[in-house]
């Protein structure tokens, strides 16, 4: 079975409608999409432990009889150290529960037991977080709290309090909450320097997998320098990655999102964010946002509510031997090959050039001919991730950097003044931070989804997944999805309205809808063209202002 990248806020989300309760499976997140409702029967249950009769167990060996008596001492020391780390860090780790209320009418062909006709369904999910300071700031993943109407934080002592969002950054998948708790009850974490992390060192994860609060697991740092796709896009369709991501085999599962990965000294080396798994549970490959990115982003979220990422304005790839030879360069030449330069970006203004011709490598198209970045501020760039890492951890908006490039085989330097990366938003939401507010969550209609809904596979548009209760979309009568389906191994809801045009402007993708909303104004009346149960119709909507978090 093909493995899939998954985020995991308890990604066992609960859908409560009246007295009916159904448990859902962990979120399936190909490409970082985070479906809000997934329905399966039965709640996840821990495996029943195998009970071994006491009589069959061999007596524990006496350390003095071991071939190497010192090994027992080392083991005892390690156990004591791990216990101390847990005692030190666990009071800093919290359980986060979110609630999102959907539109009361989903046009279901039936009622759940105990459900009133006008009763709004609710989704709930669980994740983890940790105490940042004694002023009541708590850090978690952005995907844990994205779209939530209500957030509560439960501390290690069992105390549960309401929390408000102070700031969130989807590009780093980090968010900061604020709770009203006295300083003496808050135990802030200590951050390590993630640049000092080594492959092979012990890694200890503490969080709330499947809602099991205060769970500690132990493993090793498996790899460094991974890249994690960002769960957002700009209105222009650009996507980004989180660089310097730490990979670990410390068992992490749905619900660990937003928790901590610490070293043997109890210092946070990163925030657990995603897993690679074919079975929706730990498979020994977990991904962790490094502490040095956390250290840069979180203070800005507290101070300003957002973080401006340094922005160059290119897309590119690592220069491989085949690409180098195709460009007439030495096969061992390395660097970051510029594929595209965003118009009016810092790179464009500085004169960087993208690739201008296409070739075929092993049967696949590839573009070549652009500038090759070999260094930034004198720091070697061996692969594209080196460039992304330096921009993320060593630069700031407005800073001038010097790029060493190869252009047509000749080396030269270019000075670039970095800008602020265009703001992005969750790929599962069609509301925008600026512009007008519609009040749905949606996704680009794919051929597979279209076929599952009995439509032409070439049909384009945005499938309405959920409608926010009381939103402009709700008041206009838009309908969300209600029918559970499994498409490409991903569980999702289908059957909702499909938006195909916005004031007669074709909507072919989620990004098109984002752009249209960003350009519209609150209070503006717009006409949405829909497909409802396969039949076209138009609905007039008065757009609103996005509610405060």
30-50 as b/e: b if 16+ CB within 10 A = eebbbbbbbbeeeebeeeeee
Q: Which burial class, exposed, middle or buried, applies to 64 when counting CB atoms under 10 A from its CB (0-12, 13-18, 19+)?
A: exposed
pLDDT of residue 342: 87
Q: What confidence tens digit (pLDDT) does each residue in 184-201 have? A: 999 999 999 999 999 999
Q: What is the rounded average pLDDT of the residues 472-487?
A: 87
| CATH number for the domain that contains residue 412 | 2.30.42.10
Assess if residue 23 is contained within a domain: yes
Query: Does residue 120 sit in the same domain as residue 233?
Result: yes
Assess if residue 62 is contained within a domain: no
The last residue of one of the domains, among 358, 390, 420, is: 420
Residue with tokens 């076929």: 451
Query: Does residue 338 sit in the same domain as residue 464?
Result: no
Report residue 380: phi and psi, to 5°. Answer: -60, 140
| CATH number for the domain that contains residue 97 | 2.40.10.120
Give 538's contacts (C-beta < 8 A, 6+ positions apart): 527, 528, 529, 530
* Number of domains forming the structure of the chain: 3
As given in the structure block, the two tokens for residue 351 are: 């004169």
Using the predicted structure, report yes or no on whether residue 388 has a pLDDT greater than 90: yes
The last residue of one of the domains, among 279, 309, 339, is: 309
Of 254-268, 284-298, 359-373, the poorest mean pLDDT is in 359-373
Of 14-23, 275-284, 396-405, the poorest mean pLDDT is in 14-23
Query: Does residue 281 sit in the same domain as residue 178?
Result: yes
Query: Does residue 226 sit in the same domain as residue 256?
Result: yes
Query: Does residue 24 sit in the same domain as residue 132?
Result: yes
pLDDT of residue 424: 57
| Reported confidence tier of residue 279, pLDDT bands at 50, 70, 90 | low
SS3 90: helix
Residue with tokens 């006491």: 54
Assess if residue 60 is contained within a domain: no
Instruction: In whole angstroms, give the CA distance from residue 466 to residue 524.
Output: 22
Query: Does residue 374 sit in the same domain as residue 399?
Result: yes
Assess if residue 439 is contained within a domain: yes
pLDDT of residue 220: 95
Q: What is the largest CA-CA distance in the chain?
A: 83
Residue of higher predicted confidence among 70 and 116: 70
Query: Does residue 305 sit in the same domain as residue 321?
Result: no
**Three-class HEC string of 179-245:** ECCCHHHCCCCCECCHHHCCCCCEEEEEECHHHCCCEEEEEEEEEEEEEEECCEECCCCCCCEEEEE
Q: What confidence tens digit (pLDDT) does each residue in 25-52 have? A: 333 333 322 333 332 333 333 443 433 3
Q: What is the rounded average pLDDT of the residues 65-91?
A: 83
Assess if residue 52 is contained within a domain: no
**Three-class HEC string of 229-255:** ECCEECCCCCCCEEEEEEEECCCCCCC
Instruction: In whole angstroms, give the CA distance from residue 273 to residue 254.
Output: 10
pLDDT of residue 26: 34
Q: What confidence tens digit (pLDDT) does each residue in 63-77 have? A: 444 456 677 888 888
Average pLDDT, the chain: 80
Helix (H) or strand (E) holding 366: strand 364-368
Decide the pairing of beta strands 498-502 and 505-506.
antiparallel
Query: Does residue 268 sit in the same domain as residue 134?
Result: yes
Residue of 460, 29, 48 lying closest to 275 (CA atoms): 29
Assess if residue 378 is contained within a domain: yes
Assess if residue 187 is contained within a domain: yes
The answer to whether the beta carbons of residues 221 and 201 sit under 8 Å apart is: yes
Of 9-18, 66-75, 357-366, the poorest mean pLDDT is in 9-18
Query: Does residue 482 sit in the same domain as residue 371?
Result: no
pLDDT of residue 435: 62
Assess if residue 327 is contained within a domain: yes
SS3 309: coil
Strands (E), 85-121: 93-101
Q: For the chain, how many residues are written?
A: 549
SS3 16: strand
Residue of 265, 130, 252, 140 lying closest to 197 (CA atoms): 265
The last residue of one of the domains, among 243, 278, 309, is: 309
Query: Does residue 173 sit in the same domain as residue 32?
Result: yes
The answer to whether the beta carbons of residues 117 and 111 sit under 8 Å apart is: yes
Question: pTM of this prediction?
Answer: 0.66
Tally of CB atoms within 10 A around 195: 12
pLDDT of residue 149: 87
pLDDT of residue 303: 92
The answer to whether the beta carbons of residues 412 and 439 sit under 8 Å apart is: no
| Reported confidence tier of residue 104, pLDDT bands at 50, 70, 90 | low
pLDDT of residue 22: 26
Q: Which residues are catalytic?
A: 143, 173, 257
Range among 147-161, 266-280, 352-366 rated most confident: 147-161
Instruction: In whole angstroms, give the CA distance from residue 496 to residue 532.
Output: 7
The answer to whether the beta carbons of residues 493 and 108 sit under 8 Å apart is: no
Q: What confidence tens digit (pLDDT) does each residue in 368-386 have? A: 999 999 999 999 999 999 9
Q: What angle is formed at CA 74 by the lines to CA 71 and CA 75, rounded to 5 degrees?
A: 85
pLDDT of residue 116: 54
Range of the structural domain that residue 500 is part of:
429-542
Residue with tokens 């090959």: 337
Query: Does residue 323 sit in the same domain as residue 267?
Result: no
Query: Does residue 319 sit in the same domain as residue 174?
Result: no
Q: What angle is formed at CA 307 by the lines to CA 137 and CA 180, rounded to 5 degrees?
A: 15
Q: What is the rounded average pLDDT of the residues 79-103?
A: 89
């Amino acid at each position: 079975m093909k493995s899939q990248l998954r985020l995991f806020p308890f990604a066992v989300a609960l859908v409560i409608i009246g007295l009916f309760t159904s448990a859902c499976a962990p979120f399936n997140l190909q490409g970082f999409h985070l479906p809000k409702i997934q329905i399966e029967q039965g709640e996840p249950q821990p495996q029943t432990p195998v009970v071994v009769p006491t009589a069959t167990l061999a007596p524990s060996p006496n350390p003095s009889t071991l071939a190497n008596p010192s090994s027992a001492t080392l083991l005892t020391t390690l156990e004591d150290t791990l216990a101390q780390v847990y005692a030190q860090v666990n009071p800093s780790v919290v359980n986060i529960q979110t609630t999102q209320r959907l539109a009361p009418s989903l046009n279901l062909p039936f009622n759940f037991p105990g459900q009133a006709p006008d009763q709004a369904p609710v989704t709930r999910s669980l994740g983890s977080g940790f105490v940042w300071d004694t002023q009541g700031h708590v850090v978690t993943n952005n995907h844990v709290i994205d779209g939530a109407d209500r957030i509560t934080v439960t501390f290690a002592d069992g105390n549960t309090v309401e929390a408000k969002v102070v700031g969130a950054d989807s590009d780093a998948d980090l968010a900061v909450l604020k709770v009203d708790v006295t300083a003496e009850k808050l135990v802030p974490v200590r951050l390590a320097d993630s640049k000092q992390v080594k492959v092979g060192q012990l890694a200890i994860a503490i969080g709330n997998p499947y809602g099991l609060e205060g769970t500690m697991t132990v493993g090793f740092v498996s790899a460094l320098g991974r890249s994690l796709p960002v769960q957002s896009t700009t209105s222009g369709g650009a996507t980004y990655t989180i660089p310097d991501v730490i990979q670990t085999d410390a068992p992490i599962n749905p619900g660990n999102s937003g928790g901590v990965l610490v070293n043997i000294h109890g210092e946070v080396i990163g925030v657990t964010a995603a897993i690679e798994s074919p079975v929706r549970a730990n498979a020994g490959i977990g991904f962790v946002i490094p502490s040095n990115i956390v250290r840069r982003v979180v203070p800005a979220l507290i101070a300003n509510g957002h973080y401006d990422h340094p922005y160059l304005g290119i897309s590119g790839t690592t220069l491989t031997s085949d690409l180098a030879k195709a460009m007439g360069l030495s096969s061992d030449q390395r660097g970051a090959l510029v594929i595209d330069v965003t118009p009016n970006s810092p790179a464009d203004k500085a004169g960087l050039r993208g690739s201008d011709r296409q070739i075929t490598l092993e049967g696949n198209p590839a573009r070549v001919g652009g500038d090759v970045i070999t260094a930034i501020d004198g720091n070697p760039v061996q692969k594209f991730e080196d460039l992304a890492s330096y921009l993320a951890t060593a630069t700031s908006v407005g800073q001038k950097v010097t790029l060493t490039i190869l252009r047509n085989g000749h080396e030269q330097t270019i000075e670039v003044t970095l800008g602020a990366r265009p703001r992005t938003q969750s790929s599962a939401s069609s509301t925008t931070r600026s512009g007008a507010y519609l009040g749905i969550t949606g996704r680009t209609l794919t051929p597979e989804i279209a076929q599952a809904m009995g439509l032409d596979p070439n049909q384009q548009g945005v499938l309405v997944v959920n409608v926010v209760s009381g939103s402009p979309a709700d008041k206009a009568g838009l309908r969300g999805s209600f029918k559970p389906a499994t498409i490409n191994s991903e569980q999702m809801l289908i059957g909702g309205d499909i938006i195909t045009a916005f004031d007669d402007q074709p909507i072919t993708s989620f990004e098109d809808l984002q752009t249209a909303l960003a350009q519209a104004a609150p209070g503006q009346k717009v006409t949405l063209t829909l497909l409802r149960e396969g039949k076209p119709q138009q609905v007039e909507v008065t757009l609103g202002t996005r509610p405060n978090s």
